[in-house]
Amino acid sequence: DTGVSQDPRHKITKRGQNVTFRCDPISEHNRLYWYRQTLGQGPEFLTYFQNEAQLEKSRLLSDRFSAERPKGSFSTLEIQRTEQGDSAMYLCASSSVGGGANSPLHFGNGTRLTVT
């Protein structure tokens, strides 16, 4: 178990630019989640995948955000035309299907995005 890894750890970009983050889940986990965390707040759910299918998207995920998990392994989260309000920590998590609510989510260390 090598854990969930996210890349990059930090990203600074100028307003209006596009950014893409990558997440590699724990290899045997078929559920993958993206969360956003701002300062002083708990993580907020953005979207999740079961295998390669994106099954739910939060209303927080505007049309500038898109996520993919093309082969049911790693996932990417792209933000187009970034805005200063997009500055946050973006967290990826994975879990296995079998245990339902009893299967804890395993989180990566996150990608901190700063939009200037």
Partner 1 sequence: GNSVTQMEGPVTLSEEAFLTINCTYTATGYPSLFWYVQYPGEGLQLLLKATKADDKGSNKGFEATYRKETTSFHLEKGSVQVSDSAVYFCALSDYSNSGYALNFGKGTSLLVTP
Q: Which of 91, 78, 104 is nearest to 21 (CA)?
A: 78
Measured CA to CA, the distance from residue 31 to residue 10 in angstroms comes to 24
Beta bridge partners of 66: 78
Q: Does 50 bind partner 1 (CB under 8 A)?
A: yes
Element (H, E) at 51: none
Sheet-wide strand order for 5-7: 5-7, 19-24, 75-79, 65-68
Q: Does 106 bind partner 1 (CB under 8 A)?
A: yes
Contacting partner 1 (CB under 8 A), which of 15, 16, 55, 116?
A: 55
Contact map string, positions 72 to 101, toward partner 1, x by CB under 8 A: -------------------x-x-x----xx
Contacting partner 1 (CB under 8 A), which of 11, 23, 26, 43?
A: 43
Nearest distance from residue 99's CB to partner 1, in Å? 9
**Which parts of this chain interact with partner 1 (CB under 8 A)?**
4, 31, 33, 40-45, 48, 50, 55-56, 91, 93, 95, 100-110
